[in-house]
Structure 1
């Protein structure tokens, strides 16, 4: 088995552990997220998905932030699932679209990325969804549903077949994550 396939398997296992643990709101999710993201940095760079590679550096940092935020918040009070008002989402989506277009133009001009605008859009919206997730905003799962769905095609296109299977699973599990966090949110609201 070649080196990159071995890394893809490690990333796949870490990603699955992360997913299940975050759905169940377990702080250990962040450790597996950090490990999976470190592996993915190298895989995506090798596949010429440069922004996805940089995005995974961000995921490593977000994992540290998520761990810290969940740990510190739980010392003071129970960190609970919350939801944003629609106007906040409109602003976040508008900013993400503008940043995606600008980043896509930069990627097209300065890299050999085969899909600069898709790569840029995936990276920017993933940044947004990760912040929502670290803050336990329920609708983060809706963002992830769409992001993971598009990732399937992008990963197949770049020959990352195991990761595309993981993204299929992530897309499906985004629904489960949403339902589980919705249950927590409803319990807190009563």
Structure 2
């Protein structure tokens, strides 16, 4: 088994821990997310998915932001690590702005990557990358509809990862896609209980 395959498996394990803890609103999710992303940066550069590598650098930074933001709202008495950051919703206008802006940036970035790099799938890579920036911000701020974004992004990532021979990452993306439905339901339940 090659070093890259071993690293991919380790990153997948950390990714599963990250998502499981994120769904449970546990602050420790951010540590596993940071570790998974650090390994993933190396692997994506190795298979010329440069924007995905850059996205994972952003995930590392967002992980530190998420950790800090959630830590400031953590229930200090809770051993579970659960935070007191409330689940939020976005108005339609926020989504329109996010989708239109991200769509335009995806096309521009795709063109740049197509013309100036050897990226194999520049437009898909650009779209997943740009929209993932938005979804990660929403996740850190605990916006309920982040799960809708992640469902679509993870489903799209499956193709990209299989295309580049990252089969363990593709399996992880299948898991993430399915768990996005569960994450939405769990956070929605929390949102309803907040309002009660």
2:141 to 105, 129, 135: 135
**Counterpart in the other structure of 2:115:** 109
SS in 2 for 1:113: coil
Which contiguous aligned blocks of 4+ residues in structure 1 show a shift greater than 2 angstroms? 73-78
2:88 to 82, 89, 93: 82
Q: What is the distance in 1 between the residues matched to 2:191 and 2:75?
A: 20
1:100 to 103, 106, 124: 106
Report 1:136-155 matches (<5 A): 136-155=142-161
TM-score of the pair, normalised by structure 2: 0.95
Report 1:9-158 matches (<5 A): 9-74=9-74, 78-158=84-164
Q: What is the distance in 2 between the residues matched to 1:72 and 1:102?
A: 37
SS in 2 for 1:152: helix
Deviation at 1:78, TM superposition (A): 2.5
1:188 to 181, 191, 194: 194
Q: What is the distance in 2 between the residues matched to 1:74 and 1:180?
A: 19
SS in 1 for 2:89: coil
Q: What is the distance in 1 between the residues matched to 2:183 and 2:174?
A: 14
- CA-to-partner distance for each residue in 1:126-154, whole Å, 9 max, x for gaps? 00000000000000000000000000000
Deviation at 1:75, TM superposition (A): 6.8
1:161 to 149, 167, 175: 167
Computed over aligned residues only, the root mean square deviation of the Cα atoms, in angstroms, reads 1.2
- CA-to-partner distance for each residue in 1:111-168, whole Å, 9 max, x for gaps? 0011101000000000000000000000000000000000000000000001000000
SS in 2 for 1:74: coil
Q: What is the distance in 2 between the residues matched to 1:87 and 1:158?
A: 36
Mark the runs of 5 or more structure 1 residues left unpaired by the alignment: none
Mark the runs of 5 or more structure 2 residues left unpaired by the alignment: 77-82
SS in 1 for 2:74: helix
TM-score of the pair, normalised by structure 1: 0.98
